């Protein structure tokens, strides 16, 4: 777990400024790298069955016990492992079981960051900050390294797993709706809608590398007969027509204003006149808590480094929607996803 300083430490470091607050970020940075290493070693999976001695654990993950012990001890201090006082054996904590091992957790999301996004940062952050854009976008890099696309889609799906149950509750979807999930990738949101409404049929529209993961998501949830996948480029290929609902989740941050207006127009043409467009993303100007503000700041920098874009201001996105012929009807935020907002729009009459 990220280190949480106690009340006295917060007072001394953050209020009185009498001890160096940046040390918290040093520990946090080391924690992220350590967690990434533990995931790479499959350490948590190796402890899944029962508490295990250091020697047995070291043999399972093919490490020297003397090398593994400091890693385990740091993970104990961070709250990912516990060490039994009487036997000295290590075990996973509830946090690890729920969020790193559970199929609905974020292990694959962190793995994607560790293996793809942070190495991409190392190579591109400086250039992106100095010039305003990375040498190439993360999507272009993934196209050159197609074997990593699955890791990306599994990572996006892990993040979606956390949010999908809450988000679909906010979607006003007729029970027999035809839905298009534009840039729907792994298909988790389309599948969540199909699970909730037995009459919903959904099309996931994305580039070819997402197909296998999207169809796998549908199969595992038992809704394959109502989910289809269309491979294409949403900027040029036909999206189809007469959809009742369109989802555009975590896509607008990859584009500038004119590109987003053009995409919204294409979606409007694919909707029925009384259809709905739901746009989900992290928008500037929506954060109300320290964690939300930090999250929007973090993803804003990430979108610069990975896509040459930014976390768009929510008023800009609303203006682009209006320019494309939509009326924004509502906006929601989510306790379980700091910084994420959902805009509800419908074609203006």
Ligand X SMILES: C[S@@+](CC[C@H](N)C(=O)[O-])C[C@H]1O[C@@H](n2cnc3c(N)ncnc32)[C@H](O)[C@@H]1O
Cβ distance to ligand X smaller for residue 74 or 113: 113
62 C-beta neighbours (distance < 10 Å), count:
10
Residue 265 CB, nearest approach to ligand X (Å)? 15
Task: Answer yes or no: are the C-beta atoms of 228 and 234 closer than 8 Å.
Answer: no
Segment contacting ligand X (CB under 6 A): 66-74, 112-120, 126-134, 177-185? 177-185
Task: Answer yes or no: are the C-beta atoms of 179 and 193 closer than 8 Å.
Answer: yes
Closest CA to 157 of 189, 113, 202, 181: 189
DSSP-derived pairing of the beta strands 201-206 and 178-182: parallel
Q: Which of 160, 167, 202, 314 binds ligand X (CB under 6 A)?
A: 160
Restricting to residues 203-222, name those near ligand X by CB under 6 A.
206-207, 210
Of all residues in the shown chain, the one whose CB is closest to ligand X is 185
| Interaction between residue 202 and ligand X (CB under 6 A) | no
Cβ distance to ligand X smaller for residue 78 or 251: 251
Restricting to residues 61-120, name those near ligand X by CB under 6 A.
none
Cβ distance to ligand X smaller for residue 183 or 338: 183
Give the whole-angstrom CA distance, residue 199 versus residue 176. 4
Residue 241 CB, nearest approach to ligand X (Å)? 18
Task: Answer yes or no: are the C-beta atoms of 155 and 142 closer than 8 Å.
Answer: no
Cβ distance to ligand X smaller for residue 128 or 248: 248
| Interaction between residue 162 and ligand X (CB under 6 A) | no
Closest CA to 255 of 265, 246, 245: 265
130 C-beta neighbours (distance < 10 Å), count:
8
Q: In which element (H, E) is residue 249 found?
A: strand 243-249
Residue 9 CB, nearest approach to ligand X (Å)? 36
Q: How many H helices and E strands in the chain?
A: 15, 9
Segment contacting ligand X (CB under 6 A): 32-40, 182-190, 238-246, 282-290? 182-190
| Interaction between residue 233 and ligand X (CB under 6 A) | yes
Closest CA to 219 of 184, 186, 180: 186
Q: Which of 185, 275, 308, 339 binds ligand X (CB under 6 A)?
A: 185
DSSP character string of 101-117 = ISTTSSHHHHHHIIIII
Restricting to residues 246-285, name those near ligand X by CB under 6 A.
249-251, 254
Residue 244 CB, nearest approach to ligand X (Å)? 18
Cβ distance to ligand X smaller for residue 99 or 249: 249
221 C-beta neighbours (distance < 10 Å), count:
15
- The structure tokens listed for 15 are 């209020």
Closest CA to 160 of 201, 122, 204: 204
Segment contacting ligand X (CB under 6 A): 36-44, 46-54, 244-252, 308-316? 244-252
For the chain, the straight-line distance linking the first and the last C-alpha, in angstroms and rounded, comes to: 50
Per-residue binder mask for ligand X (CB under 6 A), 123-152, x = binder: ----------------x-------------
Residue 296 CB, nearest approach to ligand X (Å)? 16
Cβ distance to ligand X smaller for residue 89 or 150: 150
Q: Which of 113, 121, 234, 278 binds ligand X (CB under 6 A)?
A: 234
Per CB under 6 A, residues contacting ligand X are 139, 156, 160, 183-185, 206-207, 210, 233-235, 249-251, 254
């Amino acid at each position: 777990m990220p280190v949480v300083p106690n009340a006295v430490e917060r007072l001394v470091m953050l209020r009185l400024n009498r001890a160096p607050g940046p040390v918290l970020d040093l520990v946090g940075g080391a924690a992220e790298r350590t967690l990434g290493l533990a995931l790479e070693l499959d350490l948590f999976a190796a402890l899944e069955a029962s508490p295990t001695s250091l020697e047995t654990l070291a043999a399972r993950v093919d490490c020297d016990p003397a090398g593994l012990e400091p890693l385990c001890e740091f993970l104990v201090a961070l709250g990912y492992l516990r060490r039994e006082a009487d036997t000295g054996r290590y075990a996973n904590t509830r946090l690890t079981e729920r969020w790193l091992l559970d199929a609905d957790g974020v292990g694959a999301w962190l793995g994607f960051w560790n293996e793809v996004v942070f190495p991409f940062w190392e190579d591109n952050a400086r250039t992106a900050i100095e010039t305003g854009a990375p040498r190439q976008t993360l999507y272009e890099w993934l196209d050159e390294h197609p074997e990593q696309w699955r890791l990306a889609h599994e990572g996006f799906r892990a993040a979606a797993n956390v949010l999908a149950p809450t988000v679909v509750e906010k979607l006003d979807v007729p029970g027999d709706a035809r839905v298009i999930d534009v840039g729907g990738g792994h298909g988790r949101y389309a599948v969540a809608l199909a699970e909730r409404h037995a009459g919903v049929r959904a099309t996931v529209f994305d580039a070819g590398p997402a197909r296998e993961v999207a169809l796998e998501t549908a199969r595992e949830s038992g809704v394959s007969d109502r989910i289809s996948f269309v491979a294409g480029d949403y900027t040029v290929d036909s999206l189809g027509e007469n959809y009742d609902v369109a989802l555009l989740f975590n896509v607008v941050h990859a584009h500038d204003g004119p590109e987003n207006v053009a995409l919204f127009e294409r979606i409007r043409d694919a909707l029925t006149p009384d259809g709905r467009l739901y746009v989900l993303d992290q928008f500037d100007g929506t954060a109300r808590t320290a964690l939300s503000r930090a999250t929007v700041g973090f993803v804003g920098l990430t979108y610069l480094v990975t896509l040459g874009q930014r976390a768009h201001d929510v008023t800009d996105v609303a203006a682009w929607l209006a320019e494309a012929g939509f009326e924004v009807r509502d906006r929601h935020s989510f306790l379980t996803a700091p910084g994420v907002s959902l805009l509800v729009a419908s074609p203006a009459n």
